[in-house]
Amino acid sequence: MYDAIIIGGGPAGLQAALTLGRMHRRTLLLDSGAYRNGTVRHAHNLLTNDGRDPAELRRLARAEIAAYDTVEIRDAAVSTVEREEDGLIVTIDGGQLRARAVILATGVADELPPIPGLAEHWGDTVANCPFCHGHEFSGRPVAVVNASAHAAALAAMLEPVASEVHVVAPADVRAVSGTDDGLRLELTDGTARDVAGAFVAPTWTVRGEIVDALGLERQESGAVRTDPFGRTSVEGVYAVGDIAQPDHLPGPMFSLAAAIAGGQLAAVAVVQSLVVA
Ligand SMILES: Cc1cc2nc3c(=O)[nH]c(=O)nc-3n(C[C@H](O)[C@H](O)[C@H](O)COP(=O)(O)OP(=O)(O)OC[C@H]3O[C@@H](n4cnc5c(N)ncnc54)[C@H](O)[C@@H]3O)c2cc1C
């Protein structure tokens, strides 16, 4: 019986593992290797790591966690989690594992607008978040490829950063290709626009199989509903990182720093629950 099984080896899960390791709790972290920022080579807006390759962040995190004897990390995918009377059963390919608590840090998956060429540049010159990838386009033109109600606000946020902000409806972009120092948007009217980068609005969905099997309550956004410490509607199950939305926030906070904070708080709550139990 583990004290905690963490499902997910992104920043949320890794931080939870570090915190539980420091409290000498028997912990297993399972990681299927599908990271939301898997195509990103430079992640930003994380103190002391601004611009670091996320793969390097994960490598460093695993190396730090290796110093704590009670934490084990396995590269494995979880198929289901079930609640039983005195804990939880986690099923992986090689069998079943038991834990007093499960921390879900399984993240979300993005579906990009169906524009040919876009996916090849996702995480580099095509991004969704101006806090993460905006400053890199300083003083150069950018495009907001977004027809939603948020497009104007996003454009306004980018105004102090970029030289020009062009708002373009996704339906008006025929294809996207790379240039020496940015992107070319080929428009349906036959013209082209060269920009340093483009901001799109992917459709995100919670990686949901485990969430649904457990019957976890969700927010209107689709994220898992939690309290400020990541506790979900099922006892002993916590959700952190991109997958989770605490009641006091308007949506899930998609960032490395927020994921790390969530992972730490949930691990603290797990330790507390084990002491009380
Ligand atoms: C293109 C892009 C660029 C970004 N750039 C930045 C940036 O510069 N700065 C910033 O702060 N934020 C950035 N973000 C956001 C940031 O990447 C996410 O907020 C963060 O990765 C969320 O961490 P997480 O741990 O919740 O999920 P993830 O990092 O997505 O990790 C999810 C983990 O769960 C595992 N998993 C899923 N299902 C299973 C299963 N069934 N069994 C076992 N393991 C499973 C995965 O393998 C993975 O280990 C970016 C996002 C995108 C899409």
Nearest atom (ligand 1) to Cα of 263: 25
What local confidence, expressed as pLDDT, does residue 67 receive?
98
Pocket of ligand 1 (CB under 6 A): 7-13, 30-37, 40, 43-46, 77-78, 105-107, 110, 122-123, 127, 132-133, 207, 241-242, 254-257, 259
With residue 29 as reference, give the H or E element that holds it. strand 27-30
Instruction: Report domain extents, the chain.
Output: 2-109+203-276, 114-200
What local confidence, expressed as pLDDT, does residue 212 receive?
93
Nearest atom (ligand 1) to Cα of 126: 1
Place of tokens 């807006």: 45
pTM: 0.97
C-alpha dihedral (146, 150, 156, 159), degrees to nearest 10: -30
CA angle 3, 6, 10 (to 5 degrees): 150
Q: How confident is the model at residue 276 (pLDDT cuts 50, 70, 90)?
A: confident
**What is the 252 CA–ligand 1 centroid distance (Å)?**
12
Contacts (Cβ under 8 Å, ≥6 apart) of 255: 45, 46, 129, 131, 132
Output the CATH code of domain 114-200. 3.50.50.60
**What is the 54 CA–ligand 1 centroid distance (Å)?**
9
Q: What mean pLDDT do residues 34-62 have? A: 97
Q: What is the pLDDT of residues 174-220, one digit of tens each?
A: 999 999 999 999 999 999 999 999 999 999 999 888 999 999 999 99
d(CA 274, CA 2): 11
72 pLDDT higher than 70: yes
Strand blocks (E) in 105-235: 108-111, 126-127, 142-145, 165-168, 173-179, 182-187, 192-195, 197-200, 203-206, 224-226
277 pLDDT higher than 70: no
Answer yes or no: CATH 3.50.50.60 is held by domain 2-109+203-276.
yes
Nearest atom (ligand 1) to Cα of 244: 26
d(CA 165, CA 163): 7
| Same-fold call for 2-109+203-276 versus 114-200 | yes
Q: What mean pLDDT do residues 223-244 have? A: 98
Place of tokens 């939870």: 16
Q: How confident is the model at residue 94 (pLDDT cuts 50, 70, 90)?
A: confident
